[in-house]
Amino acid sequence: MLILPDTSCWIEFLRPRGEAAVREQMQRWLAADRLAVCGPVRAEILRGARRTEASRVADALAALVHLDTLERDWTTVEAAARSMADFGHSVPLLDLLIAAVASRHNVILAHRDAHFRAMADALPLRTHDFLP
């Protein structure tokens, strides 16, 4: 089973002093060749990368399985955003897009972000939750 880590996991993984549990699990998934990336996550990671490290990080991400983003993912985002808004939840659209991609590709979305907990009610989403 492929794992799509959200940016919140990559931040912990790439930080020298990142959360040990996240770093260790990400390393196990990487060693087992189970990690995937999608355009929105890649863009967020590279936006936050240091200029001196951006090329190295981009090369490492290019070696992972890439999950495409389609126009229909935006339709899923629109419906989920409306549904969540009806229940008083406002979540970042980029996080909804990441969740829509994970759902369509039937992969596990790993995260450290409470927004994804709320999305599980609006989307058929399998998650690995690193939050306490």
Contact, 39 vs 69, CB < 8 A?
A: yes
Residue 19 has pLDDT above 90, yes or no: yes
Contact, 128 vs 108, CB < 8 A?
A: yes
Range 60-81 average pLDDT: 97
Q: What is the mean pLDDT of the chain?
A: 95
Range 40-63 average pLDDT: 94
Range 89-100 average pLDDT: 95
CATH, domain range 3-129: 3.40.50.1010
| Single pTM value for the model | 0.94
pLDDT score of 11: 94
- Domain segments of the chain as ranges: 3-129
Dihedral sign (CA 131, 64, 108, 81): positive
pLDDT score of 108: 98
